[in-house]
Amino acid sequence: ACVRSNSNRAAISHLHRQLYGRLYPVLLVNTDGSTVRLRYREPKRILMLPLDSSTLPEAERKARLRRQFPGKPKAKEEETFEGIDMDTYKKFWKK
């Protein structure tokens, strides 16, 4: 197995690096919606700061928790074929 270590390798997949040699321009989004451009060590487009749930009103905090952790899916009722007239679908059967 030959490993190609040239400039074409980055076009096939992502770079396998732990540290990047330069800083990249990134857009930082604060919790209030304001944005700041800064230099970051990894090539990303947007960084979002986490929202502090203790500063939110009680109703909005509960709504966020419900969206984050939805309940169990409800069981669906099974369809029955008792009330179906089979003569209406007779034209679709092969003879």
Domain boundaries, the chain: 19-69
Which one has a higher pLDDT value, 38 or 86? 38
d(Cα 69, Cα 53) in Å, to the nearest integer? 15
Residue 79 clears pLDDT 80, i.e. is over it: no
CB 70 within 8 A of CB 78: no
Query: How many Å separate Cα 6 from the centre of its chain?
Result: 33
Residue type, 40: Y
d(Cα 23, Cα 14) in Å, to the nearest integer? 17
- Residue range 88-95: mean pLDDT, rounded: 81
Q: What is the pTM of this model?
A: 0.42
Which pLDDT tens digit goes with each residue over 12-35?
666 667 776 788 999 999 888 899
Residue type, 91: K
Which pLDDT tens digit goes with each residue over 26-70?
999 988 889 999 998 888 999 888 888 888 899 988 998 888 888
CB 37 within 8 A of CB 45: no
